[in-house]
Structure 1
């Protein structure tokens, strides 16, 4: 049975998240998308409308991302795009934000010297240490505003999921609420003992969640020479278990093994949790 698809209702009750939601802002944004945007190349759901402004819109764009960037800029020193306005029109979200001038780390990495690479990685470690130092409001797995989350890599999120009252409920949802006691005939099957150990760990005690970007890849890190000037694409962000940043980055970069190899340079390695996630992905993952 497929989970309920809430694409059409994902914006219900989110009006309070809008930023500078004036009639003039809505009009100028939609006008720019029909005129000045034609002068620039679109990048997925992101449309430049000037040298300094871009608009993010599309079926999965959500006001939560704009609220997240405001939350990060207010509570940390991480360089994130400044949000000029955000709103929903005809059941579609629009986020008008700063177009940070910088080069994607993915494109610059091979041109950097070893010293410059260490400089960039040291900046990342400081930034994500600061992000993880934010105090969670409770034990919930949720967005920065206490609402739903988004991760296109989770197959049964249609398109948003949560929030979850406790981390254990998040884990149960990830494995489709599977319980070994409902399948006594499977004892002795391949991976049975490993799944049993995974469930014991998932359902066991967990420390409070930490704030997580959730899509940490070198395309989302912008450089000016060796200075990180932007961390972008916060649509996957939220309060998650402490290991999620590391394992999400590892799985999200399976085609960039060079980046996987660098994760331990700026994130705390989560070896046991990665093994747990590898098993979950095998049975309940996106492949």
Structure 2
């Protein structure tokens, strides 16, 4: 495929509906099927293709093959193979209990394989790229504009504990200076090593191929994070929203798939206001 052919396919995207359900912002994902065997995705994180290749090279997880990455009009687009099959949120209600367990068992194996990937630099959290330089972290437990980059691991810890202090200020209008902030009782858990984390295992990013293969899609939020982060990110979809949250019966499998880290998740949920706010600096 030449650059001209790729650009012609990108130009077609404006006339196509994005794949998947409407997201939390009321829009379809910026992923379009431009040919019977090809989709194109607008990517915001330049490290995503590398993280997909890294996961493909060190695990047996079915991941769509990358066909081409192109920059056009200052935007990046990733061409990948299209996987024939059904999205998880569509097919889960029709699966038998045994089939549901097999899906959960398979995902558990995928998470374990990701955690076993050899990270070149074991002390830099966030997206992974060939140079090893730190990049801004994106995901459910950062602000909309991301956070960081962080180097080393302790900088990520400091940021989260600082967000906890900011949370106390934002939720208590009687606090007028830093000396009035109460002493924290919970802290970010950095006792576990950084491991490769998909970061967005969700109803929209699991696809069951026509041959029964379970694929993992959308590696935009992948990177090196504490081991318990996969559980926390999966639990971010524990909401009652058809097509976006986990369907009935799935949430009980999450601890089996990713481990059970309720205390660590509680820290993130408790301090969600401070974590999601990007208008203040100096709290790390």
TM-score band w.r.t. shorter chain? 0.7 to 0.9
Equivalent residue runs for 1:1-287 within 5 Å: 25-35=2-12, 37=13, 41-43=17-19, 44-57=29-42, 61-136=44-119, 137-145=121-129, 146=132, 147-151=134-138, 153-154=140-141, 156-158=143-145, 160-174=146-160, 175-176=162-163, 178=165, 183-187=178-182, 196-199=184-187, 202=188, 206-224=191-209, 227-255=212-240, 256=245, 258=248, 259-285=250-276
In 2: Cα distance, 1:149 partner to 1:228 partner: 33
Deviation at 1:212, TM superposition (A): 0.6
In 1: Cα distance, 2:9 partner to 2:142 partner: 34
Which runs of no fewer than 5 residues in structure 2 stay unpaired?
Answer: 20-28, 169-176, 278-284
In 2: Cα distance, 1:101 partner to 1:152 partner: 27
Deviation at 1:282, TM superposition (A): 4.8
Give the helix-richer structure, 1 or 2. Answer: 1
CA offsets per residue over residues 174-211 of structure 1, 9 Å max, x none? 4448489x733233xxxx5xxx1223xx2x75332011
In 2: Cα distance, 1:39 partner to 1:183 partner: 53
Secondary structure at 2:117 match in 1? coil
CA offsets per residue over residues 204-244 of structure 1, 9 Å max, x none? 75332011111111211111368333100110100011111
In 2: Cα distance, 1:95 partner to 1:165 partner: 28
Contact 2:140 2:236 in 1 (8 A): no
In 1: Cα distance, 2:83 partner to 2:232 partner: 27
Secondary structure at 1:95 match in 2? strand
Q: Provide the TM-score with structure 2 as the length reference.
A: 0.77
Q: Provide the TM-score with structure 1 as the length reference.
A: 0.77
| 1:18 equivalent in structure 2 | none
| CA 1:205–1:52: 2 relative to 1, 3 Å | closer
Mean CA deviation greater in 99-108 or 231-240: 99-108
Deviation at 1:162, TM superposition (A): 3.1
Deviation at 1:113, TM superposition (A): 0.6
In 2: Cα distance, 1:150 partner to 1:252 partner: 19
| 2:173 equivalent in structure 1 | none
RMSD value, Cα: 2.6
**How many pairs were matched up?**
248
Which runs of no fewer than 5 residues in structure 1 stay unpaired?
Answer: 1-23
